[in-house]
């Protein structure tokens, strides 16, 4: 369909490449200036994609928070080469419902709470050598911790040499594949094409010219893939031999049955594990960095967190007590309100839809925006200020606050993420006095596929508290 002739909401007229450049360099500034110029619904034209109508219209948000598949589906084709075609990210309708039903039980809050002691142990292992005067890039540090959570608790790898080999190959792969160059290329030649380059090129006798760009990524991917296959195989053999119960999420996923009674095939399982890896570490690391940034910029809130943790935990940090940290929880929510790691949720319209005075045609992308809703002055008092108290003593409605997404597509790792964030934040600020380095130069930019702080959030450890 030729969208050029459609009557879409107004938006910037700059060429798509320039719009994309601004969005990558200054995501908050770009969204805020579009909101000021065009109101709560505007159209972006990004290269390689249908027009994207960003909106904070409350009727749209309400209608997309439902639990059915009759509305638009998710549009995240650019993730295809990161997670594989069988990922839950690309399933729709009944196949999505079935896959989600199979993957969700291991993520129920009660089960996840059992991981708290292990999460504390992993966090401590990463920070035990930190000393006064050290300078660290917090996004990088939290990436290492959150990747460790996923590799140990989701994949069940606890042999340190294997863990290191896996993490190095995975990070090598991800760091390259999330570069703007690769994203740009995938918009130009198509995500499936990039997928084929990465997964096909080590095996090809006569390489394609483009293979050279992806040679190293493909090598890293091959290590990741082989190790995942080995872990799946080990886990199936272990379960068949009735070894002592494993508590990792992979062990549970190998035993689930799809509705037709069949187990997930290795290829389907591998793609779900890749999805949990990417969903679990990068978003968590950036969310954590923003929470720390907010606290270090607000000494009163920081002092209150430290006091709460000291009072609740007493002499020894007890991971099962993190659920009592009400103010830490409020800090997490307030920082996700101000700095959600995704600005909007891309949904592909299957049918035309009315938004305000516009009838949007099928085939365009609708982007309900948590960034705009979270900063809407009609919903939030003093919307740009960090005021964690607003989250104490009451749940926010989904249509006002949705950092984990909406409806049937909502993040299924949210209970895992919330627990790990609380443990990391409570542990870190109760053990160290930290300071932001050059705080005025820190601003939101696209880091890989997420919005994170510039320069990896550099901090200094001023002293050790306990």
Residues that bind ligand HEM (CB under 6 A): 74, 88-89, 100, 150, 154, 275-276, 279-280, 283-284, 287, 341-342, 345, 403-406, 409-413, 416-417
Smallest separation, CB 376 to ligand HEM (Å): 18
User: What is the distance between the alpha carbons of residues 45 and 186, in angstroms, rounded to a whole number?
Assistant: 16
Smallest separation, CB 125 to ligand HEM (Å): 19
22 versus 152: smaller Cβ distance to ligand HEM: 152
Pairing of strands 41-44, 358-360: unpaired
287 versus 369: smaller Cβ distance to ligand HEM: 287
User: What is the distance between the alpha carbons of residues 303 and 331, in angstroms, rounded to a whole number?
Assistant: 12
Smallest separation, CB 410 to ligand HEM (Å): 5
Host H or E run for residue 63? helix 58-64
12 versus 407: smaller Cβ distance to ligand HEM: 407
Smallest separation, CB 268 to ligand HEM (Å): 13
**What is the residue-wise DSSP string for 155-219?**
S----HHHHHHHHHHHHHHHHHHTSHHHHHHHHHH-HHHHHHHHHHGGG-SS--TTHHHHHHHHH
User: What is the distance between the alpha carbons of residues 335 and 333, in angstroms, rounded to a whole number?
Assistant: 5
In the chain, the N- to C-terminal Cα span, in Å, equals 63
Q: Give the list of residues 6+ apart from residue 381 with CB closer than 8 angstroms, or none.
A: 390
Smallest separation, CB 24 to ligand HEM (Å): 18
185 versus 273: smaller Cβ distance to ligand HEM: 273
Smallest separation, CB 377 to ligand HEM (Å): 23
Host H or E run for residue 463? strand 458-464
Smallest separation, CB 121 to ligand HEM (Å): 18
Is residue 286 left, alpha or beta, with left meaning phi > 0 and alpha meaning psi from -120 to 50?
A: alpha
Residue 248, token pair as written in the block: 């990792």
Dihedral sign for Cα atoms in the order 18, 23, 26, 31? positive
Q: What residue is closest to ligand HEM based on CB?
A: 413
3-class DSSP state of 436: strand
220 versus 369: smaller Cβ distance to ligand HEM: 369
Contact between 191 and 77 (Cβ < 8 Å): yes
Residue 188, token pair as written in the block: 């130009």
H runs (alpha helix) in 65-159: 80-83, 93-103, 109-113, 116-127, 138-149
Contact between 72 and 350 (Cβ < 8 Å): yes
89 versus 201: smaller Cβ distance to ligand HEM: 89
Smallest separation, CB 314 to ligand HEM (Å): 28
What residue has token string 């890749």? 274
Phi and psi of 407, rounded to 5°?
A: 65, -145
Smallest separation, CB 99 to ligand HEM (Å): 8
Smallest separation, CB 92 to ligand HEM (Å): 10
170 versus 197: smaller Cβ distance to ligand HEM: 170
User: What is the distance between the alpha carbons of residues 57 and 36, in angstroms, rounded to a whole number?
Assistant: 15
User: What is the distance between the alpha carbons of residues 288 and 335, in angstroms, rounded to a whole number?
Assistant: 9
65 versus 218: smaller Cβ distance to ligand HEM: 65
Residue 294 annotated as part of some ligand binding site: no
12 versus 71: smaller Cβ distance to ligand HEM: 71
405 versus 456: smaller Cβ distance to ligand HEM: 405
Pairing of strands 358-360, 353-355: antiparallel
3-class DSSP state of 435: strand
Residues that constitute the known binding site for heme? 411
């Amino acid at each position: 369909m030729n969208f050029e002739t459609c009557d879409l909401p107004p938006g910037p007229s700059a060429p798509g490449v320039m719009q994309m450049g601004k969005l990558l360099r200054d995501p908050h500034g770009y969204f805020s200036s579009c909101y000021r110029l065009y109101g709560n619904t505007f159209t972006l034209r990004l290269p390689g994609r249908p027009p994207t109508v960003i909106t904070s219209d409350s009727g749209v948000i309400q209608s997309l928070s439902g639990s059915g598949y009759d509305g638009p589906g998710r549009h995240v084709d650019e993730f295809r080469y990161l997670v594989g075609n069988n990922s839950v990210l690309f399933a729709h309708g009944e196949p999505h419902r079935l896959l989600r039903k199979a993957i969700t039980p291991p993520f129920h809050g009660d089960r996840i709470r059992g991981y708290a002691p292990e999460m504390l142990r992993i966090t401590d292992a990463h920070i035990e050598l930190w000393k006064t005067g050290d300078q660290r890039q917090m996004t990088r540090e939290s990436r290492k911790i959150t990747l460790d959570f996923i590799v140990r608790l989701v994949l069940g790898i606890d042999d340190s040499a294997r863990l290191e080999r896996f993490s190095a190959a995975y990070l090598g792969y991800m760091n390259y594949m999330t570069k703007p160059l690769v994203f740009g290329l995938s918009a130009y030649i198509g995500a499936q094409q990039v997928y084929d380059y990465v997964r096909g090129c080590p095996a090809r006798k006569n390489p394609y010219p483009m293979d050279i760009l992806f040679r190293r990524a493909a090598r890293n991917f091959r290590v990741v893939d082989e190790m995942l296959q080995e872990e799946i195989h080990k886990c199936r053999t272990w379960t068949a031999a009735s070894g002592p119960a494993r508590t990792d999420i992979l062990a549970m996923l190998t035993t689930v049955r799809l509705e037709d009674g069949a187990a997930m095939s290795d290829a389907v399982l591998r793609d779900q594990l890749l999805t949990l890896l990417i969903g679990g570490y990068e978003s968590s690391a950036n969310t954590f960095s923003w929470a720390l940034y907010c606290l270090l910029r607000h000494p009163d809130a920081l002092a209150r967190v430290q006091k709460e943790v000291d009072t609740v935990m007493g002499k020894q940090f007890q991971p099962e007590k993190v659920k009592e940290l009400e103010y830490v929880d409020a800090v997490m929510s307030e920082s996700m309100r101000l700095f959600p790691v995704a600005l909007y949720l891309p949904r592909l319209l299957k049918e035309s839809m009315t938004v305000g005075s516009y009838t949007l045609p099928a085939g365009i992308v609708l982007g309900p925006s948590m960034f705009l809703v979270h900063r809407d002055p009609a919903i939030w008092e003093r919307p740009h200020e960090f005021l964690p108290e607003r989250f104490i003593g009451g749940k926010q409605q989904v249509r006002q606050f949705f950092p984990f997404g909406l409806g049937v597509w909502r993040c299924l790792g949210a209970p895992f993420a919330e627990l790990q964030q609380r443990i990391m934040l409570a542990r870190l600020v109760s053990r160290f006095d930290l300071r932001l380095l050059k705080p005025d130069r820190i601003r939101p930019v696209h880091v890989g596929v997420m919005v994170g702080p510039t320069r990896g959030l550099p901090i200094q450890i001023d002293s050790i508290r306990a």
